Structure 1
Amino acid sequence: MPRFSDNEKEVIRQRLLTEGERLFTTFGLKKVSIDEIIAATGIAKGSFYAFYPSKEHLFMDIAVSQQEKMWSEMVAFLQEHSDLSPRELVKQTVMFMLGQFSRYPLIQSIDGDTTDYLFRKLPKEVIEAHTKDDSAELLKLEQYGVHFTCDISVVTKILQMLAVNFFNLSQEEEKIRTEIINIMLDGILKEIVRENK
């Protein structure tokens, strides 16, 4: 295994993240090879494996990093809109987060096919850790008076599925897509969010 100084590790890691994001966003996860990633970053194949066991792990690292940025944006949104009723707060927060996806093309590119592929290629514990991270972030809604009627793991899966549906509607006019998501969200929130604080 190659040896790198701490500075070299950081430079290589940043190159992998930057070039990986560019390649995955442009061509899609399945069409990008490790050889293309190492050619774009100018590192040896052994060096790639010193950082990631697979391209899927790199993809997940990039997606999680972007999602962490989105979660911090969510907290700022919650602070600004804390006077809304619980259901309206969740609805407006979800709509805000869906709108933020346009700033994160890699996350926006994740569709049902990509999700299925990641489930097949990544170890179960990597997927479960990501879901736990999402659940922990969604629990922050409770600090703003939101109480869910079901377990947070169920809420997390429901909202993840809503996001996938949002991406699948990308070919629709924005007005139609927004109306569909609003209808779905209203129905979902009646079932999973208590109205009273």
Structure 2
Amino acid sequence: MPKFTEKEKEHIRQSLLLKGKELFIKYGLAKTSIDDIILACGIGKGSFYKFYPSKEELYYEILKNEEEVRDTLLSELLRENLPPKELLASFFHTSFQLVEENPFLQRVFQDDDHERLVRKLPKQMIEELSKEDTERGIYAVNVLIGRGVLPKEDPQVIVGIMKAVMMMRFHKEKIGENVFPKVMEKIIEYVAEGLTKEK
């Protein structure tokens, strides 16, 4: 197996992330093979395994990168000086929009990619992903509580409510493609109003 310089390693890693992302968007996690990825990157299979033990772990790293970009944009939104209900509704709308405009994040919600990822990744990686997601959510909620946007309630419960709203994206087809935008509009309106209502 060839030895790579640090510069070559970084070049290969970036190529795997870029080409892997393109292939996952086009074919999904199940239908993209390691052979497809190494062919696109121009490397051998042994070289692939020096970077990632499986295609699922490559997918996981791409997903984390995409979520970091999304979280940065949402953090900027949370700094805006809007009335509480409007800010929370805007947060939900922007979250959905970022998924709709990101082909990779869209793919996560299609063809059971998310379910397959959870099934195939090592347990500790799934736990880490869930923990990081919850911690980011709690941090954002605490910021909003500190600003008086949200009530002083258990941040984990509020994060759970926010996750439940975002999980509606998984049920778009069951709800109905045509009616889904209107349904989400109402759910966001009701949740934003309920969470920001003065007790």
Give the TM bin, normalised by the shorter chain: 0.7 to 0.9
Q: For 1:183 and 1:136, how far apart are their aligned partners in 2?
A: 27
Q: For 1:195 and 1:2, how far apart are their aligned partners in 2?
A: 62
- How many residue pairs match? The answer is 191
Q: For 2:33 and 2:51, how far apart are their aligned partners in 1?
A: 16
Q: For 1:2 and 1:160, how far apart are their aligned partners in 2?
A: 45
Please, which of 102, 105, 119 is the counterpart of residue 104 of structure 1? Answer: 102
Letter in 2 for 1:185: I
Matches within 5 A, 1:1-197: 2-80=2-80, 82-85=81-84, 87-111=85-109, 113-138=112-137, 139-144=139-144, 145=147, 146-147=150-151, 149-152=153-156, 155-156=158-159, 158-169=161-172, 172-173=177-178, 176-189=179-192, 193=195, 195-196=197-198
SS state at 1:120 partner: helix
Mark the CA change 1:35 to 1:155 in structure 2 (over 3 Å): closer, same or farther. Answer: farther
Q: For 1:189 and 1:125, how far apart are their aligned partners in 2?
A: 34
Q: TM-score scaled by structure 2?
A: 0.83
Letter in 2 for 1:54: S
Q: What is the CA RMSD across the aligned residues, in angstroms?
A: 2.5
Percentage identity across paired residues of the two chains: 32
Q: Which runs of 4+ in 1 moved over 6 A?
A: none
Structure 2: runs of 5+ lacking an equivalent = none
Contact residue 109 and residue 167 of structure 1 kept, 8 A: no
- For residue 189 of structure 1, report the CA deviation from its aligned partner: 5.0
Contact residue 38 and residue 48 of structure 1 kept, 8 A: yes
Q: For 1:155 and 1:24, how far apart are their aligned partners in 2?
A: 32
Q: Which moved more, 1:115-124 or 1:21-30?
A: 115-124
Q: For 1:147 and 1:21, how far apart are their aligned partners in 2?
A: 39
- For residue 43 of structure 1, report the CA deviation from its aligned partner: 0.7
Contact residue 141 and residue 158 of structure 2 kept, 8 A: no
Contact residue 135 and residue 156 of structure 1 kept, 8 A: yes
Structure 1: runs of 5+ lacking an equivalent = none
Mark the CA change 1:54 to 1:155 in structure 2 (over 3 Å): closer, same or farther. Answer: farther
Q: For 1:22 and 1:107, how far apart are their aligned partners in 2?
A: 12
